[in-house]
Structure formats: structure tokens, C-alpha cells
Amino acid sequence: MAQRQLTLALIIQGNEVLLLNRYNKPYIGQWNGIGGKIEPGETPQAGIKREILEETQIPKTAYTLTDNGYMEWSVAGVYQNRIYLYTAYLAPDYPLKVPVSMREGLLNLFPLDWAMAKENYGVIADLKAVYPYMIAKEQHIFQTNFVGDELVTFNVQ
């Protein structure tokens, strides 16, 4: 059976980003965007909308979605999966109730500058690498390769 592809979104509200501190592997204890597996018969866009609702309770009417392409994710040179990338721009007046603990981890809102700072090792490295392209509403194919938790290769096409 083929491996199900993944989705990942940055949820932006003004100058802040909603992140998830993962309780489980991969990247346990690190802050990441919202996402998950695409269900059989589901498009990547439908998948990310479902994941956003499931993980945050934010309805699709509360944000606009930008398609940012996808990432080919590898670990130690071994291909792992394709991750479809999106940016969800949340209405400024949408009431977020954070921090909140849920099944996948802890959700919280952070200033974008802090979250994506080079010195911030608590945010997954490839998310920080793709962030400038996502915020610019660009669509690319990204290639990443990790060795352990270190991002050793990052390419943009």
C-alpha cells in the first residue's frame, strides 16, 4: 500500500503564527505548523482544511488559504514523503483560545519574528526555511534532507 502524502499549514493571524508543539514523533517537542495525512480520495487542499478543523476547531470560513507548493522530505538521504504546503490567513477578529492542549500537542500563538528567528531551535528547521516563501505567497517545490534533527540540505525549485 502506498504511503499517504501529508499536508502542512502555517496559520497566520496578523503578525502572529499558530504553532503546534508535538507530543509524538517525528520531531517530538518541537513547534510545527498544522497538518497531517491526506485521506484516500481527498485532494491536498481538502486534506489541509480537514486537518485545520480537526486540530484547531477553526472553520474554513475563518481563513483564506494560499497554496505554497510542496516539500520533498528526506532523512539521511532516504525519501520520506511529500508534504503539501499552505498558508492560512486567519481573520483578525477570529477569537483564538490559546494555549490549548489537544490530542496532537499544545497549540499556541507566537509573534512571527520570534517563531521564525534563526536562533529559535524550538521550531522545526524546514518550517523556518520555507517560511519566507510561504509568507511571500510563492509556490515552489522544496527539497529537504535531515540528519537527526539537523536540516543539512534545503533546495528550492
pLDDT in tens, the chain (157 residues): 457 899 999 999 999 999 999 998 878 999 999 999 999 999 999 999 999 999 999 999 999 999 999 999 999 999 999 999 999 999 999 999 999 999 889 999 999 999 999 899 999 999 999 999 999 999 999 999 999 889 999 999 9
Count of C-beta atoms within a 10 Å radius of residue 67: 14
Q: What domains does the chain contain, in order, with CATH numbers?
A: 6-156 (3.90.79.10)
**Total residues found in the chain within this entry:** 157
Q: Which three cell numbers stand for residue 22?
A: 508535538
